Amino acid sequence: MKQATKGIYQATETYSWKKLRNGAESIIFEPVKIGAWNLKTRTAMAPMTRCFADDETGVVGEDVVEYYRKRAADGVGLIITEGILVSPRAKGNPQVPGLYTKDQVEAWKKVTEAVHNEGGTIIAQLWHVGRLSHHELTLGYPPQAPSAIAAEGRVPRFRKPYDVPEAMTVEDIQQLVDQFAQAGKNAIEAGFDGVEIHGAHGYLIDQFNSDLSNKRKDKYGGDLGQRLTLMKEVTKAVIEAVGTDRTVIRFSAHKSDVPTYMWEDPEEAIRTFVEAFKEVGATLLHPSTMDFTRVLVDGKTMHQLVRKYWDGIIIGVGTLDPGTAEEALEEGTIDVAAFGRPLISNPDFINRLKNGEELEEYEARKHLPILI
């Protein structure tokens, strides 16, 4: 059973999943080259914010080193980290790590070295939560957003209502673009193999993408194609900083604060997103959904619709089970399958799949709730 509450998975996850048809010979265990990376398997560890960093400094410790080392040793192809902040005002939860100070960069070097010693590949997810925050988390400043519209609900793990945000000026936006680019450079300095831009789930970049939170009248507002201007600027800047073959873009319809949200015309929205990514030279996409098998249009799922318009790499995610992932890989809908909660409760997830062993259930009380 799965329960999502304001962006936190709270309940027990029971793995009554579709199993691998081909067992240890499954395509899921094949090595694959995507972008700049030679992955050991066609699997990824989905980004899951765990709030394990020092709250004052945003510096990660030895527990984080061991957390990622274990998954690399197990054979996960691509590890995508928890969301890592690009600035102090990007923060939306206590104890979230950053990539904007020297100390933070130095601490992440221990993580990347440990992963590389196990033959793994790890990229940093660059994150700014925007309006999904509170001034007590952002150095006393109001949260930033495209428009001064507060989100409904409370900050996860902080339990206070979301603040009314400050509408960003054009100068603020340019500073934000620069912060993402610098965080990308910092990630490479820290030893990461690349980065993922978090443009999904109702966080700051996605707040510009959305008609719920973006009521601007300048070049950053308007119809969907125009609202994607910030995402394009950030993506272009990060690609220039680290390379298109090391830059993944994550996008979604899903909003952490509005879980039921869906685009009015899903296929047209996806086509618009894909055209924007092509325009700025992106090559690696991570379309995000809470249900990989959900049909949106004409019998097609989100990832199938993305594949209709996109010939590049697609990382698939959305409560994937092994059998469904295997099928999607075989039909070419996705190139890599990302798993989340199973990798929390099963650090040896890949080996368990290969050996046909049962998986330990994910329980929030035991493994801590996961922010998405």
Q: What is the dihedral of CA 47, 52, 55, 56, to 10 degrees?
A: -90
Contacts 24+ apart (CB under 8 A), 174-180: 176/86, 176/87, 176/128, 176/144, 176/204, 176/230, 176/234, 177/230, 177/233, 177/234, 177/237, 178/237, 179/86, 179/87, 179/90, 179/100, 179/128, 180/86, 180/126, 180/128, 180/234, 180/237, 180/238
Q: Which of 203, 220, 309, 362 is catalytic?
A: 203
Distance in angstroms (rounded) separating the CA atoms of residues 366 and 263: 35
Distance in angstroms (rounded) separating the CA atoms of residues 207 and 14: 33
Is 162 among the residues known to form the active site? no
Residue indicated by tokens 């929205």: 269
Distance in angstroms (rounded) separating the CA atoms of residues 352 and 331: 24
Question: Do 51 and 369 form a contact (C-beta atoms < 8 A)?
Answer: no
3-state secondary structure 73-116: HHCCCEEEEEEEECCHHHCCCCCCCECCCHHHHHHHHHHHHHHH
User: Residue 257: CA atoms inside 13 Å, Cβ hemisphere, count?
Assistant: 24
3-state helix, strand, coil in the chain (%, to 5): 35, 20, 45
Catalytic residues: 203
